[in-house]
Amino acid sequence: MRYALAVDGGNSKTDLALVREDGELLATAHGRGSSPYHLGVEGSLDVIEKLFERALDKAGLEPPADAAELLLAGVDFPSEEAAVVAAVERRNWARRVSVDNDTFAVLRAGTDSGWGIAVVCGAGINCVGVAPDGTHARFPALGWTTGDWGGGGDVGQEAVYAAARSEDGRGPQTSLEQRVPAYFELATPLELAEAVHFRRVDGSRAIELPSLRRSSTGSRRRSSRSRAWRSRASGWRTNPSRCCSAAVCSSVSMRGSVPRSTLGSPRSGLRSRPVRRRRPRCSAPRCSVSTRSTRGPTRTQFCAARWQPRTPIP
């Protein structure tokens, strides 16, 4: 029987399928993340191999498959693709092997046309655009070194940030002040900061926190301003003159969390400017600290000039 091996390997999970040449699904397997960036090429393939063997047992098949398509997170450069292809060929999983980034798996899940734009918001963030003629555009998506923000790790760190500032009064009050440290079985954000500092808690575990951030509606509303400046700073937009084609990109721009089809047009390439709002100034002498009001309970604000509690701001 002719069949193909298909793998979607992310940072947190891996899905594997065996598909007959007529499209019939023969077997599936699900397991932990298999990104070569975190596990190395051989470590990544070890995870996938266990799932492959499990799926072969379910389907009653023997390797090699006629074709294998592995779409893996962390495979961002041609040299990384070549390294994974060579390693898979040594294991004799399939007669023909293709390896690419996992953004292409998202694109395939969303459309059968073979072209469009796919955005991945997983442990990291990535995007790919494919034109009808096969031309494609991608970002390196290596994290902060390539100007990226918006993955699970970034959102988790923002939750810790909001919790700490809620505790000491520098930011708006939020339920994350209790929920974030409680997730790590600690009492306060300060205890969490100390635990991360002394490596009793792995700071990379912030990637586990987006679910808390999502369910804290009050915090999401009040901290939208801090997230918006990151979106504006990244200036993430697709420009048809630089991407694949106007038919694919449709002049879509992102500003904060709101898409606007009128920005970044092929003709003008203009961006909208955020509205700047003036904030009241502290009345203490020699103080130039801007203050802001907060929703919910009144909170005491601190003046940087005297470092003494001022009159609470409603």
What order of strands is seen across the sheet that includes strand 136-138?
A: 116-121, 125-130, 136-138
Per the CB < 8 A criterion, the answer to whether 174 and 162 are in contact is yes
Indicate the pLDDT class of residue 244, thresholds 50, 70 and 90: very low
The CATH 3.30.420.40 portion of the chain extends over: 3-101
Q: Which of 32-36, 63-67, 298-302 has the lowest mean pLDDT?
A: 298-302
- pLDDT value of position 181: 95
User: Does residue 83 contact residue 19 with C-beta atoms inside 8 Å?
Assistant: no
Q: Which CATH number is 3-101 given?
A: 3.30.420.40
- Does residue 133 have a pLDDT over 60? yes
Listed ranges 12-21, 213-222, 245-254; the one with the highest mean pLDDT: 12-21
